[in-house]
Structure 1
Amino acid sequence: MYFAALLARTEDGWEASDMELDGVEFLTDLIDLARSAAVDDDTVVALIEQEDAWFGVVRVDGEEDPRYFVSNASAASRSSYGSMLTKELLGSDEEDNELDELDLDGTEDGEESRISAFSDEDDDQDAVGGTGAEPVPSGPLGDPRLLDDLGVTHKALLDLDGDALSEIADSLGATEVLEAVR
């Protein structure tokens, strides 16, 4: 089971909305949802989690390219919505990111991708990405610094587990609005 929400930054703080994933078949659908929630092209953070197995963060700032982070690439790659994120982060050449091959409850195993794992010892690494040399790691994938300027440091993001979305919302000052849509 998934939980997904959008947090849109406004002049008065954060506004939260429940993100309905039923209409999301492609990653571009998710990005379009985030952009439509933006107030004056300000930052929108899409948060997705699957029953504490993994969480994902997508940050959209106006028309800039979205930034992505997944807490556990291996677990995410075996779920429908997580596989969209991991494929994007891996730079998959597949044109077809449709979800029809995956069970939308996230239980069916997908095809294993190959990437390099993020090293906690390499604090200067801006993004975690793939070289094609190793199987999907059971650790993080993406840009762990995507929330640094919003109060969630990359070290804190990498250390999150359990109820990670609540901890992110707490750091952003958006706990109440996120809990209202949960």
Structure 2
Amino acid sequence: MYFAALLARTEDGWEASDTELDDVETLSDLADLAREASTEDDTVLVLIEQEDAWFGVVRVDGEDDPRIYVSDAAAAARSSYGEILLTDELLGREPGDDVPDLDSLDLDGTEDGEPENDSDDDDDVVGGAASGEAVLSGPIGDREILADLGVDEKELLILDSNDALNEIAEVLGAAEVLETVR
């Protein structure tokens, strides 16, 4: 089951609205949808989750390029909504490439100072359902996407997919407004 909502920052706090992603085909469409929710070019967060599998955050600040974080790239690659977020740029590949440059991606989820697992990297590669492309499992994107709002990289990386959006909203002071659209 999927859930998607927009959180728009206003002078009075956060406003939430649920959103249908059926007509959204690209990240540009999603960014446009987010910009429509903001009257003053304030920050808008698009929160997307697939229950028990993955969550994603897209941050749009005015006309700036959207910033993206996905908790599990491989799980999202098997989802039509997740594939919207997994752009060529985010995956570190040129448009039209079949396989991302796996060495350039930081998808292992380890934090600075923690040893990486020396197992064969092929164990962490999962094929995308629609495209047949290989995508590593694990977090991908801008890990500092919410740092200035109170959710730093370490906190973001340990969020459980089951309750991540609620925990993010709690830190933002938007839990009640998010719950109204859930």
Q: TM-score, normalised by structure 1?
A: 0.79
C-alpha contact (below 8 Å) 1:9/1:39 kept by paired residues = no
Determine the C-alpha separation between the residues in 2 that align with 1:40 and 1:9: 9
Superposed displacement of residue 114, structure 1: 5.3
Does residue 164 (structure 1) correspond to residue 164 (structure 2)? The answer is yes
Superposed displacement of residue 16, structure 1: 0.2
For the aligned residue pairs, the C-alpha RMSD in angstroms reads 1.9
Letter aligned with residue 159 of structure 1:
I
| Local SS of the residue matching 2:87 | helix
> Paired residue for 2:91?
90
> Paired residue for 2:177?
177
> Paired residue for 1:122?
112
> Paired residue for 1:55?
55
C-alpha contact (below 8 Å) 2:92/2:100 kept by paired residues = no
Which has the higher Rg, Structure 1 or Structure 2? Answer: 2
CA shift digits 1:105-133 (9 cap, x unpaired): xxxxxx8755332442238xxxxxxxxxx
Identity across aligned pairs (percent)? 65
What pairs with 1:16-165 in structure 2 (closer than 5 Å)?
Answer: 16-88=16-88, 89-94=90-95, 115=102, 116=105, 117-122=107-112, 135=125, 136-161=135-160, 162-165=162-165
Cα 1:112–1:81 change in 2 (3 A) is farther
CA shift digits 1:45-64 (9 cap, x unpaired): 00000112000000000011
CA shift digits 1:38-86 (9 cap, x unpaired): 1300000000001120000000000111100000011001111111212
Determine the C-alpha separation between the residues in 2 that align with 1:61 and 1:154: 19
C-alpha contact (below 8 Å) 1:4/1:46 kept by paired residues = yes
Superposed displacement of residue 154, structure 1: 1.1
**Number of residue pairs the alignment of both structures matches:** 157
> Paired residue for 1:3?
3
Determine the C-alpha separation between the residues in 1 that align with 2:73 and 2:80: 12
Determine the C-alpha separation between the residues in 2 that align with 1:65 and 1:87: 13
Determine the C-alpha separation between the residues in 2 that align with 1:112 and 1:78: 15
C-alpha contact (below 8 Å) 1:59/1:146 kept by paired residues = yes
Determine the C-alpha separation between the residues in 1 that align with 2:56 and 2:176: 20
| Local SS of the residue matching 1:63 | coil
| Local SS of the residue matching 1:58 | strand
C-alpha contact (below 8 Å) 1:5/1:48 kept by paired residues = yes
Determine the C-alpha separation between the residues in 1 that align with 2:49 and 2:35: 20
C-alpha contact (below 8 Å) 2:7/2:17 kept by paired residues = yes
Does residue 15 (structure 1) correspond to residue 5 (structure 2)? The answer is no
